[in-house]
Amino acid sequence: GYADKLRPHVIDTSLLIDQAVRTRQNLLFEGAQGTLLDLDHGTYPYVTSSNPVAGGACVGAGVGPTIIDRVIGVAKAYTTRVGEGPFPTELRDETGRYLGSRGAEFGTTTGRPRRCGWFDAVIGRYAVRINGLDCLAITKLDVLDELEKIRVCVAYEVKGRLIDQFPSNANLFAQCEPIWEELPGWKQPTGECRTLESLPAEARDYLQFLAKQMGVPIALVSVGADREQTIIIEDPIHGPKRALLYTNGD
């Protein structure tokens, strides 16, 4: 039966990982889902049943927190959400549908269309804080290639006041209205770019803006679905911790 087939592959993974650590092997933990789906730190009740934040890797893998010495955050160049829940930057217009179509934004298992919107730097800063991010990998930059203007949410207005940090109250978050910064698009294909310098100037400016908004450098940028369509700005794993360059070298 299935048990006999699976039995040879079942092992005490905590012990296996500990042995790898003691022999100075490199380990990479990969988390699924996003910060706002976290059971404790997400937008409850619109969350999952586990902890997708970086700290969840320790609990899930059975290792101590000192084992992890670097945390890389992965974010799209725009924002998406599956299912219900507050989404201040959601685009319910043609641009939102365009992002969904060009970005192939459909649920992996359900096939449900994902909700799409502009990049939310307030949520980004929250993710940096909750996960202790050292650097960022920005994916799907190429999805924005054809847009004339690109917006980024830099703060919220709620009940007549401005806030630039993520609210701890879910009901308050649902009332937040985005405060925008508008940047020019690049209107050029980026899928063939393999270096930072080969990206259009406006695309580099956009990345730089995101890095400064979130307070951590961008180490990787993807401009397509293929592995080779990844631009490595700085080695996110072996580079000096918290000393990776911003996209313009500042």
> For 92-99, what is the mean pLDDT?
97
Bin 159: left if φ > 0, else alpha if -120 < ψ < 50, else beta: left
**pLDDT score of 242:** 44
> For 176-189, what is the mean pLDDT?
98
Q: Which residue has the higher pLDDT, 126 or 107?
A: 126
Residue type, 195: T
Identify the three-state secondary structure at position 50.
coil
Tell how strand 218-222 and strand 115-117 pair up.
Answer: unpaired
Residue-wise pLDDT for 191-244, tens only, equals 999 999 999 999 999 999 999 999 999 999 999 999 999 999 988 887 655 433
**pLDDT score of 247:** 44
**pLDDT score of 43:** 93
For residue 13, which of 54, 53, 55, 60 has the smallest C-alpha distance?
A: 60
Residue-wise pLDDT for 20-56, tens only, equals 999 999 999 999 899 999 999 999 999 999 999 999 9
> For 161-189, what is the mean pLDDT?
95
Residue-wise pLDDT for 131-163, tens only, equals 999 999 999 999 999 999 999 999 999 999 999
**pLDDT score of 235:** 84
DSSP output for 176-209: -EEEEEEEE---S--TT--STTTS-HHHHHHHHH
Tell how strand 218-222 and strand 177-184 pair up.
Answer: unpaired
Domains in the chain, start-ordered, CATH in brackets? Answer: 1-18+27-69 (3.40.440.10), 70-239 (3.90.170.10)
| DSSP code for 113 | B
Identify the three-state secondary structure at position 248.
coil
**pLDDT score of 245:** 47
| DSSP code for 240 | P
The pTM (predicted TM-score) of the whole model is 0.91
For residue 183, which of 213, 216, 138 has the smallest C-alpha distance?
A: 213
Instruction: Say how many Å lie between the first and final Cα of the chain, rounded.
Output: 59
